[in-house]
Structure 1
């Protein structure tokens, strides 16, 4: 048997007031309508005693506000590194009393358009448009005229409100750690120079800027794909040539894993013989031996900020969320400083 839903009229009867008075109080308008404090207290007490829940559907028909929002992504939900974008967004929505629809277009424009049409039919109050990897996007037609904030993506003209990781400052932070440890004259980059990849381009720019400021530059590179096997081969080749880096700056934690394997296979120790600094601060960073110094992706905070900006109506400009450096024992002196 379906549970009886308490009506506004029942609350009004219990409180001994009119239905209109009860409605004003429960919609937060009691003071504006100069309703006596005694009547206001009786309405609130009656609502609590009866476990009254407002009919949000009926309210939305009157106010045109549904207290819902939509997070529209490609494949973000199932990606282990970017799932915290979703968690942060949902946490912010719940905290502000909003219900969030979560949908994936799986990179198919037609599928994404159908999803947007369905969400528009449900009259959501706004959209967070997200991507798994930071990259430029072209907004779908379905978002035209809608309140929106872009999450982990941006448009080429920079006119859309966006929330991005501060990858440039992340590169600077990694390089500052290398310089602070006195290793700037023997720092090698491990990874692929990929100017088309936002993270790689920004991280490298930050690294080179700080090293130049310290009167140094990268001593060399071990070019490789952003994956352990490729990184292991690249670093092993470098070591086989007799090169002895003082620090390996890896473009992500998976690259760092391959670098660890090559260093250990060569009979060298981390950080006594070579320090390692990386990016992403994935779970892998804490599992490695010794634990890896890494600059953390701020995905949870990014998801929160996107929803907060959307609900606040802050829909102008690009916000770059800080990426904290997690100093661990892979950096010379790191255990003491971390």
Structure 2
């Protein structure tokens, strides 16, 4: 048989104080005008009895449940963007909030159910997150709860948190400039000529713009641009093999993501091309495998943890509707000479 829940009245009775006095002390009121000894008695009584505040009852009084919903497509069930939820969880915990994690797989029916579940529990805010940065389409439901788009955009909810891909693209080129490269640079994963009419996403477009404008600022041109629609290791491997077998192979590669770079490593190793002595590689994302390659891959990181933390901060401390761009740090390893 379950024991009765310990109430505030029980704590006050054991401490020999009124319920209102015990409540002020346990809620941390700075102006209780009660002695330190009274404070100690209340906290000792609460600890001895195992008292836990009734969050639901408090929520009825304050109209706050200290709960934030994190609704995503596959962020929680894949490793590629787990930093988003890690950062959000840390920020929520630091603020004394609980996070309700709901995964939808990107399925409209499950999205509707997840939003309904969050609203039914009167969460203080909703973070809508996507594994890959994109425009996120949400069910046509009435949502009056504060909401922030994380690694995503949506016309109904103007608060969004995204990586600063434009400056990230510029940073990748700067890495090669600092290493003394002025020619012999190839772009792996995107081609201006072949993709002029194609659209991947707004964030990819910003990454490409940063790369190309940084090159133009230095009056430089790529010696080769290889369009690859699927940014996966095998495509990177095949494309890099073709590049390295040319009469004048590139001396440096800017890979559009780390998975393409993994394939480039395989191709270089198979052809006896040394990294970084013969071929330097800089990439994007900072996939966890990048640190385990030999030599380690220099990459411009997606700041997922900082993004998750920022999204929760916007829920807890609302600001005028805006797009928050989080800097992408360069992670220097050993793939650039």
TM over 0.5: yes
Taking structure 1 as reference, are residues 141 and 7 closer, same or farther at Cα in structure 2, changes over 3 Å only?
same
Structure 1 unmatched ranges of 5 or more: 333-338
SS of match in other structure, 1:47:
helix
RMSD, matched Cα: 2.0
Are the aligned partners of 1:185 and 1:219 in contact in 2 as well (CA < 8 Å)? Answer: yes
Pairing of 1:285-300 with structure 2 (within 5 A): 285-300=290-305
Partner of 1:335: none
Pairing of 1:168-247 with structure 2 (within 5 A): 168-193=166-191, 195-224=199-228, 225-247=230-252
Partner of 2:56: 57
Corresponding position: 1:260 with 2:259? no
Structure (1 or 2) with the greater helix fraction: 1
Q: Distance in 1 between matches of 2:11 and 2:189?
A: 65
Taking structure 1 as reference, are residues 121 and 314 closer, same or farther at Cα in structure 2, changes over 3 Å only?
same
Taking structure 1 as reference, are residues 30 and 262 closer, same or farther at Cα in structure 2, changes over 3 Å only?
closer
Partner of 1:113: 112
Residue 111 (structure 1) shift = 2.1
Relative to structure 2, which stretch is displaced further, 70-79 or 170-179?
A: 70-79
Corresponding position: 1:99 with 2:98? yes
Relative to structure 2, which stretch is displaced further, 216-225 or 134-143?
A: 134-143
Pairing of 1:28-47 with structure 2 (within 5 A): 28-29=28-29, 31=31, 34-35=33-34, 38-47=37-46
Residue 176 (structure 1) shift = 0.2
SS of match in other structure, 1:257:
helix
Taking structure 1 as reference, are residues 264 and 120 closer, same or farther at Cα in structure 2, changes over 3 Å only?
same
Q: Distance in 1 between matches of 2:199 and 2:95?
A: 39
- CA deviations 1:224-273 (Å, max 9, x no partner) are 23111112111212222313212100011110111112222222211111
Relative to structure 2, which stretch is displaced further, 1-10 or 128-137?
A: 1-10
Q: Distance in 2 between matches of 1:111 and 1:217?
A: 47
Are the aligned partners of 1:70 and 1:124 in contact in 2 as well (CA < 8 Å)? Answer: yes
Residue 38 (structure 1) shift = 4.9
TM-score between the two structures when normalised by the length of structure 2: 0.91
Corresponding position: 1:329 with 2:334? yes
Partner of 2:128: 129
Q: Distance in 2 between matches of 1:142 and 1:70?
A: 16
SS of match in other structure, 2:328:
coil
- CA deviations 1:105-129 (Å, max 9, x no partner) are 2222232112211221111111001
Partner of 2:194: none
SS of match in other structure, 1:277:
strand
Corresponding position: 1:17 with 2:17? yes
Partner of 2:26: 26
Partner of 1:336: none
Taking structure 1 as reference, are residues 29 and 267 closer, same or farther at Cα in structure 2, changes over 3 Å only?
closer
Pairing of 1:121-160 with structure 2 (within 5 A): 121-142=120-141, 144-155=143-154, 160=158
Residue 37 (structure 1) shift = 5.3
- CA deviations 1:120-161 (Å, max 9, x no partner) are 11111110011111011244333532211110001358x611
Taking structure 1 as reference, are residues 67 and 144 closer, same or farther at Cα in structure 2, changes over 3 Å only?
same
Residue 315 (structure 1) shift = 5.6
Are the aligned partners of 1:192 and 1:226 in contact in 2 as well (CA < 8 Å)? Answer: no
Residue 34 (structure 1) shift = 4.7
